[in-house]
Chain A
Amino acid sequence: MVENELDRTSSQIKGLIDALYADFTGQIASVLPENQKYNAAMIRRSLEILAAHLQLENREQADVRFKLSGQPFSCPQLAKALRDRQDIGVSHEKLREALKSDVMHRRWQANPKTLSKPD
């Protein structure tokens, strides 16, 4: 059951992208001339990325992406804290772990068909 208008809209857009993807890959891309194959691959990948973004739960799109030692940081806050050489309150190893976890999610969003979605 759709709980709210936002979910309904997301669901519609997801359906539209899925249909567009199916049409494009099934009927259009295969008949394009050789010199358009690269463009077709880029369009296909763009549609995959769009669909992956829509799959994200609200939790994953929240402003607070990094919870380090109990202290929440948005992406801009953490970037600024690092530039300013502030004490983040965690070891380098823990910080790299948190950064890697964030990268894994963005990496999946960029390559949703070739990578499995991280937990």
Chain B
Amino acid sequence: MITGNGADIGMTSLAEDCGPVLAWLQTRTGADRLDCLRVEKLSGGAIQENWLLQLRITGGAHDGHQSWVLRTDAASSVAVSNSRLNEFSLLQAAFLQGVTVPEPLYFCSDNTVLGRPFFIMTAMPGQAQARKLVRSPGLAEQGLELVAQLGQIMAKLHSITPQTKFKTKGLGSEELLFFLPRYEGSAASFQIAQMRAALDNLGTAHPVLEYSLNWLEDHLPIWADPDAPVLCHRDFRTGNFLIEDGKCTALLDWEFAGWSDRHEDIGWLCARCWRFGNDQLPVGGLGTFSTFQKAYEAASGQSLNVTAIGYWQVMAEIRWAVIALQQAARNNSGQELSLELALSGYLVPEMEMNMLNLIDEIEQGIWADLDS
């Protein structure tokens, strides 16, 4: 038996038609009865939709009250994002490695259920809204501890390599991440080629991005260390992790994850565009870099190349600018009309100014490390 509480259900697609999802869940969980107490679309996510499902399950593998999240595609996605199946595998890999993530539970590839693939994971407590987090009154007290924890989480994530084997339930040892593309040479030159290809696909002219990509390419010997690739989240930033009582409870949104240089994740987390106005706190507007670095190095046993991080910060600004342009293009093409997507294009000058200023600082020798 399946029931849904209409009073809590808003006028949204899943809420209007959650019956097939609940029936599918009842089969997967082996429940005798599944009551849906609440279904609510969660805020955020221009590329994916997240729905909170509060369930009362009788019998089966998850007997009792459960708070789960259903994650599925928005109407369209950006070119470089992973499919939901791949994202589910990434989440499994991270969970099995002990990274602080929601537990991935079930994946559904049957399009007759929701009309598109989706997966179910546990709901985690906490606040993700970046602007609220960086203005939190508790930040002064808890910020250092938080960025140290972020350093430990990132180190755990970066312990996953293409050679890592995972023990999955009933399946034995598996290469869960076989689908992630490998690159030749350095991650940096791979990224530069990817960004140029993305600009070509957009079909619009962006001199600042072209100049900055040339500048990065001209300095590759300084920063592009062809270290063995590690699993990078590639969107590890304030806004993509949940914080509760000054502690990170979950790292979210794995759609961009892939093999890369560990410094890419750090450059992204510390890029000015992700500090949300708290420029004096380089680690996501939350804390100092020295604290993060100490925790990361202690947890990973790897020394960071601080010089490289400045270059990866320039790359971060370029990459976010390209993603923002892709989002705006989705609206401008009529593919998915959305004011939020349209306004993304107007964020680009901010990133362009950041990258030009950063290049100036590095060229003039003003940039020494992230706390300077």
Which residues from chain A sit less than 8 Å from chain B, CB to CB?
39, 42-43, 45-46, 49, 66, 75-76, 78-80, 82-83, 85, 92, 95-96, 99-100, 102-104, 106-107, 109-111
Q: Write the B332-372 contact mask toward A (1 if CB under 8 angstroms, else 0).
A: 00000001101100111110110010011001000000000
| Total A-B contacts with CB atoms under 8 angstroms apart | 64
**Are B347 and A79 in contact, with the CB atoms below 8 A?**
no
Q: Would A96 and B350 be within 8 Å (CB), given that A39-B339, A46-B342 are in contact? A: no
A-side contacts of B346, CB under 8 Å: 49, 109-111
Using CB atoms, name the residue of chain B closest to A35. B43
- Choose one: B196, B208, B342; the contact of A103 (CB below 8 Å): B208
Query: CA separation between A106 and B356, bound complex, in Å?
Result: 14
Query: CA separation between A106 and B260, bound complex, in Å?
Result: 33
**Are A45 and B353 in contact, with the CB atoms below 8 A?**
no
Within B293-350, which residues are at the interface with A (CB < 8 Å)? 339-340, 342-343, 346-350
Interface centre among B207, B210, B339, B343 (most CB of A within 10 A): B207
B24 within 8 A of A: no
B214 within 8 A of A: yes
Within B257-304, which residues are at the interface with A (CB < 8 Å)? none
Q: Would A82 and B343 be within 8 Å (CB), given that A75-B205, A96-B359, A110-B349 are in contact? A: no
**Are A78 and B207 in contact, with the CB atoms below 8 A?**
yes
Given contact pairs A82-B210, A92-B363, A109-B346, a sample of 13 additional A-B residue pairs in the complex whose CB atoms are under 8 Å apart: A42-B339, A45-B343, A78-B207, A79-B205, A82-B211, A96-B360, A99-B356, A102-B208, A103-B356, A106-B352, A107-B350, A110-B347, A110-B349
B-side contacts of A103, CB under 8 Å: 208, 349, 352-353, 356
Using CB atoms, name the residue of chain A closest to B364. A93
**Are B210 and A79 in contact, with the CB atoms below 8 A?**
yes
Using CB atoms, name the residue of chain A closest to B340. A42
Distance (Å) between the CB of A3 and the closest chain B CB?
Answer: 30
Q: Would A43 and B339 be within 8 Å (CB), given that A96-B359, A103-B353 are in contact? A: yes
Which residues from chain B sit less than 8 Å from chain A, CB to CB?
196, 205-208, 210-211, 214-215, 339-340, 342-343, 346-350, 352-353, 356, 359-360, 363
Query: CA separation between A88 and B93, bound complex, in Å?
Result: 48
Query: CA separation between A100 and B196, bound complex, in Å?
Result: 21
A-side contacts of B210, CB under 8 Å: 78-79, 82-83
Query: CA separation between A109 and B282, bound complex, in Å?
Result: 27
Query: CA separation between A42 and B337, bound complex, in Å?
Result: 14
Using CB atoms, name the residue of chain B closest to A105. B349
Q: List 9 A-B contacts (CB under 8 A).
A: A42-B339, A46-B342, A78-B207, A83-B210, A100-B353, A100-B356, A104-B353, A107-B350, A109-B346
Query: CA separation between A106 and B353, bound complex, in Å?
Result: 10
Q: Would A76 and B211 be within 8 Å (CB), given that A42-B339, A96-B359, A99-B356 are in contact? A: no
**Are A46 and B343 in contact, with the CB atoms below 8 A?**
yes
Query: CA separation between A4 and B360, bound complex, in Å?
Result: 44
B-side contacts of A111, CB under 8 Å: 346
Q: Would A107 and B356 be within 8 Å (CB), given that A46-B342, A79-B205, A80-B205 are in contact? A: no
Query: CA separation between A111 and B353, bound complex, in Å?
Result: 14
**Are A79 and B206 in contact, with the CB atoms below 8 A?**
yes
Query: CA separation between A46 and B342, bound complex, in Å?
Result: 9
Using CB atoms, name the residue of chain B closest to A108. B349
- Choose one: B350, B359, B360, B363; the contact of A110 (CB below 8 Å): B350
A-side contacts of B340, CB under 8 Å: 42
- Choose one: A45, A83, A107; the contact of B349 (CB below 8 Å): A107
Using CB atoms, name the residue of chain B closest to A98. B207
A-side contacts of B207, CB under 8 Å: 66, 75, 78-79, 82, 99, 102
Query: CA separation between A9 and B106, bound complex, in Å?
Result: 58
Query: CA separation between A102 and B206, bound complex, in Å?
Result: 11
Query: CA separation between A111 and B347, bound complex, in Å?
Result: 9
Interface centre among B211, B343, B350 (most CB of A within 10 A): B211
Query: CA separation between A106 and B324, bound complex, in Å?
Result: 15
Distance (Å) between the CB of B29 and the closest chain A CB?
Answer: 31
Query: CA separation between A92 and B214, bound complex, in Å?
Result: 11
- What are the 3 tightest A-B residue pairs by CB atom distance, in nearest-first order? A79-B205, A110-B346, A76-B205
